[in-house]
Amino acid sequence: MDPRIREHAEIVVDHSVDLQAGDDVVVVAPPEAEDLVVALHESIGDRGANPLVLSGNDRFQRAHLRNREDFETPAHQMALVEETDVYIAIRADTNVTETSDVDPETNAAYSKAKRPILDERLSKRWCLTQYPAPANAQLAEMSTEAYENFVWDAIVKDWDAVREHQSQMVDIMDRADEVRVRSGERTDVTMSVAGNPTLNDYGEKNLPGGEVFTAPVPDSVEGEVLFDKPLYHQGREVTDVSLEFEDGEVVDHSAEKNEAVLTEVLNTDEGASRLGELGIGMNRDIDRFSYNMLFDEKMGDTVHMAVGRAYEDTVGEDNEQNESAVHVDMIVDMSEDSSITVDGEVVQRDGTFRFEDGFEN
Amino acid sequence: MDPRIREHAEIVVDHSVDLQAGDDVVVVAPPEAEDLVVALHESIGDRGANPLVLSGNDRFQRAHLRNREDFETPAHQMALVEETDVYIAIRADTNVTETSDVDPETNAAYSKAKRPILDERLSKRWCLTQYPAPANAQLAEMSTEAYENFVWDAIVKDWDAVREHQSQMVDIMDRADEVRVRSGERTDVTMSVAGNPTLNDYGEKNLPGGEVFTAPVPDSVEGEVLFDKPLYHQGREVTDVSLEFEDGEVVDHSAEKNEAVLTEVLNTDEGASRLGELGIGMNRDIDRFSYNMLFDEKMGDTVHMAVGRAYEDTVGEDNEQNESAVHVDMIVDMSEDSSITVDGEVVQRDGTFRFEDGFEN
């Protein structure tokens, strides 16, 4: 076994979820991630915790959904999650387009039925990580070995140093009322983050980590955004998503490719057409786009926004939490002709932060 | 996909577990069984039931157990099973000796901790079946294709006809007080089955089915048995197991190979050194020994006995149910120089039942 797999498992168990003796653990893993699941079992067993593995195989999901329209929330899965202390989800595809011929409406109905389970899961200690499967390498247009290096370079690293660096941007955002994101001709959006905490993602709930993120005040978002990085949603590529916001709601939307998938997402429920997250990618070890949101949203020189559910921890006590069955991230390139302005002051220009060398005001 | 895989799935769902809309289903499956799990998801989805897949991978179990001594019953797994309506377990190995270097004492301690989960699971509608993986073909000393034919011939068949044929032996056993099993020089054992129902296994809880079975009255077993077919237990082959019973308890035991594994099983708890099952294999479509208890115990011309737990349904209201964390079956060849005698009357001689052509009294 590649020694980085065991290092990866140790980081998950000790750094990301802080596993304790007696913890009841669920690992959700597709078949490609087998070696990482083996390494996790070594670490989980050594710490005296109790593992249970759910198989996250897209072929199963496609077969289940192919002729079905009505769904209910499965009581047995809910009971499992309620009694679980730690949830470790691993992504690793055999074919990233496996569910591409499932009807988008069916997918949306299924997501809706499973929402209470997602809610419950997010209230636990959890971590989402990636195993470098060949299909994910193919999507990134990389050889399998180069992709393995890319993934483990991004994951097996000094997360304390990352935390320190990113805390400078957290300090700025935590004091902010209004944030404006501008890029090129077609992105100029303003939103309030007043009263909402900004979180420092240094490899706990997401591994790799490498962003700072908060929730916009739902009704405050005004303006237009062109998400110039493509989006992969349920096996379909959606390109050049454009959203126009008024009073926090999406009042107009378009996409170059697969606009129907976007429309379906926005129509899932009321909260799906409002923003639930504003994130700033700060991880320069992730130095290329790989068509994988877990990595792409952390890239340096990017900003991402998610329609749908806001994470509870990013919403202040007196503020509204955007609720939805979905949480779909989309990315804006900030490397050129762009700026982030906080309360009238530019804090990032063309990808360089004001606390970094080379920043030009 | 081989069309027999979908036929297999339909038999599981419609015949074995009688799946209903709204049922919460757990499928436990190792990676080799992927195609069958896909076919099951089609059938489960079509019937409006809710699948959840647990990964039953021996590499995970080995990694978890390798350094661990103390175990507890995982509350999350218990909560899951309690809320589950239907439990489908699939066997299919990648390497049948995967857990051969796990300490037998560790295995026994782990089984003990998980016993309440097994108890709960056995109170549900459940089915255990086999997918023809190459490692299982290898163990059976067959090509993969020949083994596929063997498995699906045994499974994809007319289970109503099987039920009819076997009911003749159920009628005999249900009226029986004392059963004597004699084979060769070293097997002559007598036990009471008075008051205990005999069940007709026609492919419901076990698929393939093909046996009739009951529970001996625990204290009534007297005599000696040589199990001349080898036993595979937790990746280890145990050969020529010999047990001597007095007042229902094993008072002497030996095995040609891996006797320590046998000793460990018998020492698990009090019930592990008493019989929990007497079964008569009646499935002549299973025409060869394949080192797989799910098939071997159903072979025509064999009898099997299990030390450990008795199935609740095979124990009469006023009789004692043998309790144990284990249930380990072992097989006696009845094809030559052998007989089954019920209340003094021979009902099978050299493999031929008294209700079949060619029976000689």
The domain segmentation of chain A, as residue ranges, is 3-156, 160-353
Considering chain B, what percentage of its residues have pLDDT values greater than 90? 89
The pLDDT of residue A280: 97
A43 C-beta neighbours (distance < 10 Å), count: 21
pLDDT at B232: 79
Band (A236; pLDDT cuts 50, 70, 90): confident
Instruction: Work out the burial of residue A271: count CB atoms within 10 Å of its CB; fewer than 13 is exposed, 13-18 middle, 19 or more buried.
Output: buried
Cis? peptide before B31, omega within 30° of 0: no
Please judge whether A51 and B64 are an interchain contact, meaning their C-beta atoms are less than 8 angstroms apart.
Answer: yes
Q: Which CATH superfamily is domain B3-155 in?
A: Thermophilic metalloprotease (M29) (3.40.1830.10)
Contact B189, B152 (CB under 8 A): no
- State the number of CA atoms in the 13 A half-sphere of A281 facing the CB: 30
Tell me the CATH class for A3-156: alpha beta
Q: Quick one: pLDDT band at residue A304, thresholds 50, 70, 90?
A: very high
> What's the rounded Cα separation, in Å, for the pair B330 and B272?
13
CA distance B199 to B316: 12
For residue A88, the model assigns a pLDDT of 98
Using a CB-CB distance cutoff of 8 angstroms, which residues of chain B are in contact with residue A76? 24, 26, 50, 52, 80, 83-85
Q: Looking at CA atoms only, how far is residue B142 from chain A in angstroms?
A: 26
In what helix (H) or strand (E) does residue B63 lie, and over which residues does it extend? helix B58-65
Of B250, B230, B251, the residue nearest B240 (C-alpha): B230
Lowest mean pLDDT among B23-27, B40-44, B160-164: B160-164
**What pLDDT was estimated at residue B360?**
81
A46 contacts in chain B (CB < 8 Å):
67-68
Among A67, A72, A76, select the one facing B80 at the smallest CB separation.
Answer: A76
Put simply, whether A94 touches B (Cβ < 8 Å) is no
DSSP 3-state of B292 = coil
Q: Residue A224, class by beta-carbon neighbours within 10 Å (0-12 exposed, 13-18 middle, 19+ buried)?
A: middle
At residue A259, the pLDDT reads 96
pLDDT (tens digit per residue) in A321-348: 999 988 999 999 999 999 999 999 999 9
Taking the C-alpha atoms of residue B60 and residue B31, their distance in angstroms, rounded to an integer, is: 12
Residue B113 CB coordination number (10 Å):
16
| B190 has a pLDDT exceeding 80 | yes
How high is the pLDDT of residue B325? 85
pLDDT value of position B193: 97
Instruction: Check residue A232 and give its pLDDT.
Output: 79
B59 touches chain A (CB under 8 A): yes
Higher per-residue pLDDT: B254 or B312: B254
Q: What is the mean pLDDT of residues A277-297?
A: 93
- Asked if the model's pLDDT at residue A361 lies above 90, the reply is no
Q: What is the DSSP letter of B251?
A: E
Alpha carbon distances (Å) from A97 to A139, B16, B45, B291: 10, 34, 20, 40
Mean pLDDT value across residues A271-298: 94
User: Per the CB < 8 Å rule, is B54 touching A54?
Assistant: yes
A52 in B contact zone (CB under 8 Å): yes
Q: What residues contact residue B325 under an 8 Å CB cut-off, 6+ apart?
A: B108, B111, B112, B114, B115, B118, B268, B269, B272, B308, B309
Mean pLDDT to the nearest integer, B13-26? 97
Beta strands per DSSP E along A157-289: 178-183, 187-192, 199-201, 206-207, 211-214, 222-227, 231-233, 236-238, 241-246, 249-254, 275-281
Token pair, residue B124, equals 């549900």
Nearest CA in chain A to B56: A53
ipTM higher than threshold 0.90: no
